Amino acid sequence: HIRDLVAAALAGDAIARGLLREAGRQLGEVLAIAINLLNPEVVVIGGDMAGAFDLYTAGVRETVYSRSTALATRDLTFVPSTHADSTGMVGCAAVVINHLLSPERLDAHLDAVAR
């Protein structure tokens, strides 16, 4: 399991550390494309790999900075997810709240109440 790999890497296992770094490089290849297109300020690293954030993100950064434009990465930062295992639930809640409090829905509700 990924959590076992992260635990081994954090314990100093050289093979596990290498695998995490390589996984980070592979993610970096995909992220570099998105970063060049979207020019984000922050990339949030989550999931089981985030348990070894520094090691995993080193591989991500290595590839992102070599494959992205200087302009796209000038102010770019990488941060660990703050919600750990509840990230999916927090994201779902945000989608529901955005839907329920959308301007269109609020306008429709206010029109119905005013009648």
Domain residue spans in the chain? 2-82, 84-115
- Are 21 and 59 a contacting pair, CB within 8 Å? yes
Domain 2-82 belongs to what topology? Nucleotidyltransferase; domain 5 (3.30.420)
Q: What is the pTM of this model?
A: 0.72
In this prediction, residue 15 has a pLDDT band, given cuts at 50, 70 and 90, of: very high
Q: What is the pLDDT of residues 92-115, one digit of tens each?
A: 898 999 988 899 988 888 999 988
Strand partners, 76: none
CA distance 28 to 49: 13
pLDDT at 82: 82
The dihedral through the CA atoms of 39, 63, 42, 81 has a sign that is: positive
Q: What is the pLDDT of residues 26-77, one digit of tens each?
A: 999 999 999 999 999 999 988 888 888 899 999 999 999 999 999 999 999 9
Q: Which two tokens stand for residue 56?
A: 């995993």
